[in-house]
Amino acid sequence: MEYTLNNGGCRMNKKGCNRNSTQKLSTFDWMCDLPDTQKDTDFVEVQFKNTRKGYFLNNTKIPLEKGDVVAVESSPGHDIGEVTLVGRLVALQMKKYNVQPDKVEVRRVYRKAKETDLEKFQEAKCKEQATMIRARQIAENLKLNMKIGDVEYQGDGNKAIFYYIADERVDFRQLIKVFAESFRVRIEMKQIGARQEAGRIGGIGPCGRELCCSGWMTTFNSVSTSAARVQDISLNPQKLAGQCAKLKCCMNFELDTYSDALKIYPSREIQLETLDNTYYYFKTDVFKGLISYSTSQNFGANVVTITAQRAKEVIALNKKGQKPELLDDHVETDKVVPVEYESGVGQDSLTRFDTNKKRPNGKNKRPNNRPNNRSAAQSGESKPNENLPNERPANRPPVAKPKVQEAKGTPSTNKSVASENKGGAPRFQKPVKKTDIDTKKNEN
């Protein structure tokens, strides 16, 4: 028998195995690619706005898949929701949340949502924001110590659920009467906590992931500051509080592991006595198995880090009335080895061609490969247009260099000759008349 799977398989869509990111508290359907499990039960999981879910009986055997929009039974009227799970995994989820069909009234799935049903649902959904603002104003006028967190209309628009937060008991009998007169619908009030409100709104936590209360958490246990002390977390209210202004739920996730690991460490109240000082507990490094002590109770002064075994040895000596000379006598200090970084492609440097390496014994001189123009001119092989641009042609007569005559005389006159310019004249000399220059030429 061949099975044809039309529910998306493991692809990234609503009908696949993945968690639907548009729905909060969505479940990973790891049985989606098992055809035998799709018809194990007639119950389906339907999700409504935010985190509200329900399990309904498909007694009419309507072919439903994940992502289908259905009309389900409600009181009064009907509601519109989206199918998020079908098959055997629905029974497992009902067992997880302790939903017993024998003891609880089971509601049915009417049909797949029609176009008229979706139009009414969209009209009711558009009223939610304005209704919430108006409800907050009414509660403020009645001077009730409560906060209207969210409003959810039923799919047919005949009922509205008001979610509120209050620190104490609130008498809202008058409030319900005013709501019924103002909105002309059936009113239902539900009290939620600050963590549940954050889960309904959703968001991103400081870890960069989706909030746990909107992703998978359904039960909220109490969190205290002692969990932060056990894990050596800084008691900073801004870092310990989540988006709900309460202590973060994730502080309880590793609390049991830290509590078990700290059992091998001595008590924090015990002081260690040595010949020189009295040491008080400072901090514990659970991952490395080390414990630090300080000579001051209020801040870290002369901090010494030892192992838990060494701390127990010192405590045993103190009970016998003995004081060791040093607290870290048996601790071997690790030598810090400098890390030599290497390039990913080996030892080659990117600037290895920038500088020329000097060669010994004058080997860095390049050989002169230019042809001898004079020998080429004598053999008649050179041509005028083949000469290099920086060299003088061979048929050009050599330029005569001016000869500089050394003046005879005293050393002072020789110095004046050495200080002459390129033209041969001294740098500093008296002006000479033209007649004197002519007589010197005649004498020569």
- Per-residue pLDDT of 177-217, as tens digits, reads 999 999 999 999 999 888 888 888 888 988 898 888 888 88
The encoded tokens of residue 376 equal: 């080429």
Would you tell me which CATH number, out of the four given (3.30.300, 1.20.1740, 1.10.10, 2.60.40), belongs to the domain 122-198? Answer: 3.30.300
Where does 236-277 show beta strands of DSSP type E?
272-273
Residue 262 clears pLDDT 80, i.e. is over it? yes
- Measure CA 121 to chain center: 39
d(CA 238, CA 388): 79
Q: Is the pLDDT reported for residue 20 higher than 60?
A: no
Could you tell me the end-to-end alpha-carbon distance of the chain, in angstroms, rounded to an integer?
A: 131
Give residue 70's pLDDT band: very low, low, confident or very high (50, 70, 90): very high
| Residue 17 confidence class, pLDDT cut points 50, 70, 90 | low
pLDDT of residue 114: 93
Bridging pattern class, strands 109-112 and 69-73: antiparallel
Contacts of 10 (CB under 8 A, 6+ apart): 16, 17, 18, 32, 33
* Mean pLDDT in residue range 394-402: 56
Nearest Cα to Cα of residue 25 among 41, 48, 7, 9: 48
Model pTM score: 0.58
Alpha carbon distances (Å) from 68 to 35, 45, 109: 18, 11, 12
Highest mean pLDDT pick, 268-277, 385-394, 421-430: 268-277
Mean pLDDT for the chain overall? 77
- Mean of the pLDDT values across residues 121-149? 92
**Nearest one of 262, 278, 263 to 315, comparing CA atoms:** 278
Residue 222 backbone phi and psi in degrees, to 5? -70, 140
Contact criterion met (CB below 8 Å) for 339 and 316: no
Is residue 131 over pLDDT 90? yes
Q: Which of 240, 260, 256 is nearest to 248 (CA)?
A: 240
CA dist 117 and 280 (Å) reads 71
- Give domain limits for the chain: 1-113, 122-198, 221-261, 265-319
Which of 18, 35, 34, 38 shows the shortest CA–CA distance to 26? 18
**pLDDT the model gives residue 30:** 81
265-277 mean pLDDT: 87
3-state SS assignment for residue 275: coil
Cβ atoms of residues 16 and 32 within 8 Å: yes
User: 272 near 311, Cβ under 8 Å?
Assistant: yes
Task: Give the per-residue pLDDT at 218.
Answer: 78
Would you state the structure tokens that stand for residue 437, as one six-digit string? 């220059």
Does the pLDDT at position 9 exceed 60? no
| Angle (CA) 176 202 232, round 5° | 115
Q: Please state, in angstroms and as integers, the Cα–Cα distance from residue 223 to each residue in 159, 242, 412, following that order.
A: 36, 12, 102
112-121, 285-294, 393-402: segment of lowest average pLDDT: 393-402
Q: Residue holding tokens 């692809």? A: 11
Burial (CB < 10 A; 0-12, 13-18, 19+), residue 219, is: exposed
Q: Which of 318, 317, 265 is nearest to 292 (CA)?
A: 265
pLDDT tens-digit series, residues 140-187? 999 999 999 889 999 988 999 999 998 888 888 899 999 999 999 999
Q: What is the pLDDT of residue 400?
A: 54
Joined together, the tokens standing for residue 94 give 């009902």
* Residue 422, both tokens: 């390129």
